[in-house]
Protein backbone atom coordinates (compact mmCIF):
# COMPACT_ATOMS: atom_id res chain seq x y z
CA UNK A 1 0.00 0.00 0.00
CA UNK A 2 2.64 2.50 1.05
CA UNK A 3 4.80 1.55 -1.90
CA UNK A 4 1.92 2.39 -4.21
CA UNK A 5 1.47 5.88 -2.83
CA UNK A 6 5.15 6.58 -3.02
CA UNK A 7 5.12 5.41 -6.61
CA UNK A 8 2.19 7.74 -7.30
CA UNK A 9 4.12 10.65 -5.91
CA UNK A 10 7.31 9.95 -7.80
CA UNK A 11 5.25 9.57 -10.97
CA UNK A 12 3.55 12.92 -10.34
CA UNK A 13 6.87 14.60 -9.80
CA UNK A 14 8.40 13.19 -12.95
CA UNK A 15 5.40 14.14 -15.10
CA UNK A 16 5.31 17.65 -13.70
CA UNK A 17 8.99 18.02 -14.44
CA UNK A 18 8.67 16.69 -17.96
CA UNK A 19 5.65 18.86 -18.72
CA UNK A 20 7.14 22.15 -17.57
CA UNK A 21 10.84 21.92 -18.33
CA UNK A 22 13.19 20.81 -21.05
CA UNK A 23 15.26 18.17 -19.30
CA UNK A 24 16.98 16.70 -22.34
CA UNK A 25 19.57 19.48 -22.31
CA UNK A 26 22.91 17.71 -22.33
CA UNK A 27 25.65 18.82 -19.97
CA UNK A 28 28.18 17.10 -22.18
CA UNK A 29 27.30 19.45 -25.02
CA UNK A 30 28.10 22.37 -22.70
CA UNK A 31 31.57 20.94 -22.12
CA UNK A 32 32.07 20.49 -25.86
CA UNK A 33 30.86 24.04 -26.58
CA UNK A 34 33.39 25.32 -24.07
CA UNK A 35 36.21 23.40 -25.74
CA UNK A 36 35.26 24.74 -29.19
CA UNK A 37 35.18 28.26 -27.77
CA UNK A 38 38.65 27.87 -26.28
CA UNK A 39 40.03 26.63 -29.60
CA UNK A 40 38.27 29.49 -31.38
CA UNK A 41 39.70 31.98 -28.90
CA UNK A 42 43.17 30.57 -29.45
CA UNK A 43 42.82 31.03 -33.21
CA UNK A 44 41.57 34.59 -32.69
CA UNK A 45 44.50 35.24 -30.40
CA UNK A 46 46.95 34.05 -33.04
CA UNK A 47 45.27 36.23 -35.67
CA UNK A 48 44.67 39.50 -33.88
CA UNK A 49 46.70 39.62 -30.71
CA UNK A 50 50.37 40.18 -30.40
CA UNK A 51 52.90 41.29 -27.86
CA UNK A 52 52.10 44.95 -28.54
CA UNK A 53 48.33 44.67 -28.58
CA UNK A 54 47.34 42.80 -25.42
CA UNK A 55 45.78 45.25 -23.00
CA UNK A 56 46.21 48.16 -25.41
CA UNK A 57 42.78 48.92 -26.74
CA UNK A 58 43.86 51.27 -29.54
CA UNK A 59 46.27 48.88 -31.24
CA UNK A 60 43.94 45.98 -30.65
CA UNK A 61 41.04 47.71 -32.36
CA UNK A 62 43.18 48.34 -35.42
CA UNK A 63 44.24 44.70 -35.48
CA UNK A 64 40.67 43.46 -35.10
CA UNK A 65 39.49 45.68 -37.93
CA UNK A 66 42.21 44.40 -40.24
CA UNK A 67 41.32 40.78 -39.56
CA UNK A 68 37.59 41.07 -39.16
CA UNK A 69 36.66 38.48 -41.82
CA UNK A 70 38.85 35.76 -40.33
CA UNK A 71 37.61 36.54 -36.82
CA UNK A 72 34.00 36.43 -37.92
CA UNK A 73 34.48 33.09 -39.66
CA UNK A 74 36.21 31.81 -36.55
CA UNK A 75 33.29 32.87 -34.34
CA UNK A 76 30.72 31.46 -36.75
CA UNK A 77 32.59 28.16 -36.86
CA UNK A 78 32.59 27.89 -33.08
CA UNK A 79 28.90 28.79 -32.91
CA UNK A 80 27.83 26.26 -35.56
CA UNK A 81 29.88 23.46 -34.05
CA UNK A 82 28.44 24.20 -30.59
CA UNK A 83 24.86 24.22 -31.88
CA UNK A 84 25.27 21.02 -33.88
CA UNK A 85 26.85 19.22 -30.94
CA UNK A 86 24.16 20.55 -28.59
CA UNK A 87 21.35 19.30 -30.80
CA UNK A 88 22.92 15.89 -31.44
CA UNK A 89 23.75 15.20 -27.79
CA UNK A 90 20.44 16.52 -26.44
CA UNK A 91 18.58 14.44 -28.99
CA UNK A 92 20.49 11.42 -27.79
CA UNK A 93 19.65 12.22 -24.18
CA UNK A 94 15.97 12.68 -25.03
CA UNK A 95 15.95 9.28 -26.69
CA UNK A 96 17.57 7.73 -23.66
CA UNK A 97 14.97 9.32 -21.38
CA UNK A 98 12.17 8.26 -23.71
CA UNK A 99 11.15 11.84 -24.41
CA UNK A 100 10.26 13.79 -27.51
CA UNK A 101 13.19 16.10 -28.28
CA UNK A 102 11.57 19.05 -30.04
CA UNK A 103 8.64 19.54 -27.68
CA UNK A 104 6.92 22.68 -26.44
CA UNK A 105 9.48 23.26 -23.69
CA UNK A 106 12.37 23.00 -26.14
CA UNK A 107 10.68 25.56 -28.40
CA UNK A 108 10.05 27.93 -25.50
CA UNK A 109 13.66 27.55 -24.42
CA UNK A 110 15.02 28.44 -27.85
CA UNK A 111 12.66 31.38 -28.41
CA UNK A 112 13.42 32.87 -25.01
CA UNK A 113 17.15 32.45 -25.55
CA UNK A 114 17.06 33.94 -29.04
CA UNK A 115 15.23 37.19 -28.30
CA UNK A 116 17.91 38.78 -26.05
CA UNK A 117 20.59 37.16 -28.22
CA UNK A 118 19.23 38.77 -31.39
CA UNK A 119 19.01 42.17 -29.70
CA UNK A 120 22.58 41.81 -28.46
CA UNK A 121 23.78 40.69 -31.89
CA UNK A 122 22.15 43.67 -33.59
CA UNK A 123 23.60 46.07 -31.02
CA UNK A 124 27.04 44.51 -31.43
CA UNK A 125 26.93 45.17 -35.17
CA UNK A 126 25.79 48.76 -34.60
CA UNK A 127 28.50 49.35 -32.00
CA UNK A 128 31.11 47.91 -34.36
CA UNK A 129 29.97 50.17 -37.20
CA UNK A 130 29.94 53.21 -34.92
CA UNK A 131 33.48 52.48 -33.79
CA UNK A 132 32.84 51.26 -30.26
CA UNK A 133 34.63 48.03 -31.03
CA UNK A 134 36.00 47.54 -27.56
CA UNK A 135 32.48 46.98 -26.23
CA UNK A 136 31.54 44.25 -28.69
CA UNK A 137 33.03 41.32 -26.74
CA UNK A 138 31.63 42.40 -23.34
CA UNK A 139 28.25 43.04 -24.91
CA UNK A 140 27.97 39.57 -26.44
CA UNK A 141 28.67 38.13 -22.99
CA UNK A 142 26.03 40.29 -21.32
CA UNK A 143 23.30 39.56 -23.84
CA UNK A 144 24.15 35.87 -23.94
CA UNK A 145 23.79 35.88 -20.15
CA UNK A 146 20.43 37.63 -20.38
CA UNK A 147 19.29 35.06 -22.93
CA UNK A 148 20.31 32.19 -20.65
CA UNK A 149 18.55 33.81 -17.71
CA UNK A 150 15.42 34.10 -19.79
CA UNK A 151 15.65 30.53 -21.07
CA UNK A 152 16.38 29.07 -17.64
CA UNK A 153 12.68 29.06 -16.75
CA UNK A 154 12.19 26.26 -19.25
CA UNK A 155 15.04 23.99 -18.28
CA UNK A 156 17.44 23.16 -15.45
CA UNK A 157 17.88 25.96 -12.97
CA UNK A 158 21.68 25.66 -13.26
CA UNK A 159 21.34 27.62 -16.49
CA UNK A 160 20.14 30.60 -14.47
CA UNK A 161 23.39 30.69 -12.53
CA UNK A 162 25.39 30.32 -15.73
CA UNK A 163 23.46 33.29 -17.17
CA UNK A 164 24.17 35.44 -14.13
CA UNK A 165 27.86 34.52 -14.29
CA UNK A 166 28.03 35.53 -17.97
CA UNK A 167 26.38 38.88 -17.22
CA UNK A 168 28.77 39.60 -14.37
CA UNK A 169 31.76 38.65 -16.50
CA UNK A 170 30.47 40.88 -19.31
CA UNK A 171 30.17 43.85 -16.97
CA UNK A 172 33.71 43.37 -15.70
CA UNK A 173 34.88 43.07 -19.31
CA UNK A 174 33.30 46.47 -20.02
CA UNK A 175 35.79 47.98 -17.58
CA UNK A 176 38.89 46.09 -18.78
CA UNK A 177 38.24 46.58 -22.47
CA UNK A 178 41.69 45.67 -23.76
CA UNK A 179 41.23 42.10 -22.61
CA UNK A 180 38.01 41.26 -24.46
CA UNK A 181 39.29 38.02 -25.86
CA UNK A 182 40.32 36.71 -22.46
CA UNK A 183 36.90 37.46 -21.02
CA UNK A 184 35.35 35.93 -24.08
CA UNK A 185 37.38 32.74 -23.60
CA UNK A 186 36.45 32.67 -19.91
CA UNK A 187 32.73 33.24 -20.57
CA UNK A 188 32.16 31.02 -23.58
CA UNK A 189 34.95 28.56 -22.83
CA UNK A 190 35.60 28.04 -19.15
CA UNK A 191 32.11 28.76 -17.82
CA UNK A 192 30.55 26.36 -20.35
CA UNK A 193 32.99 23.64 -19.37
CA UNK A 194 32.39 24.18 -15.65
CA UNK A 195 28.58 24.32 -15.83
CA UNK A 196 28.46 21.55 -18.44
CA UNK A 197 30.48 19.32 -16.13
CA UNK A 198 28.27 20.16 -13.13
CA UNK A 199 25.13 19.34 -15.10
CA UNK A 200 26.66 16.19 -16.50
CA UNK A 201 27.49 14.87 -13.05
CA UNK A 202 24.17 15.97 -11.59
CA UNK A 203 21.79 14.66 -14.22
CA UNK A 204 23.48 12.26 -16.61
CA UNK A 205 25.25 9.72 -14.49
Partner 1 sequence: MDIHKLNKAFENRVRLGIMSALIAGDAMDFNRLKELLAVTDGNLASHLKALEKEAFIQVNKTFIGRKPNTKYAATADGKKAFKAHIDALEALIKGQK
Q: Which residue number, 90 or 177, has a Cβ lying nearer to partner 1? A: 90
Is 26 or 105 the residue whose CB approaches partner 1 more closely?
105
Binding site for partner 1 (CB under 8 A): 1-2, 5-6, 8-9, 11-12, 15-20, 98-100, 103-105
How far apart are CB 191 and partner 1 at their closest, in Å? 30
Which CB, 98 or 131, lies closer to partner 1? 98
Q: How far is the CB of 1 from partner 1 (least distance, A)?
A: 8
Closest by CA to 108, choosing from 156, 144, 149, 154, is 154
Return the number of other C-beta atoms located less than 10 Å from residue 66's C-beta. Answer: 12
Return the HEC string of 84-149. HHHHHHHHHHHHHHCCCCCCHHHHHHHHHHHHHHHHHHHHHHHHHHHCCHHHHHHHHHHHHHHHHH
Q: Nearer to partner 1 by C-beta: 19 or 50?
A: 19
Give the nearest distance from C-beta 22 to partner 1 in angstroms: 11
Amino acid sequence: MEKDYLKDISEIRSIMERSSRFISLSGLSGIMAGIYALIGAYIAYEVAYSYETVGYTEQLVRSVKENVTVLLLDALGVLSLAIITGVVLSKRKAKKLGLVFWDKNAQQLVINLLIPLAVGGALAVIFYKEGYIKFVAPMTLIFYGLGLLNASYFTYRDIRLLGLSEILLGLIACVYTGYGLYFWAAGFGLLHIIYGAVMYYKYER
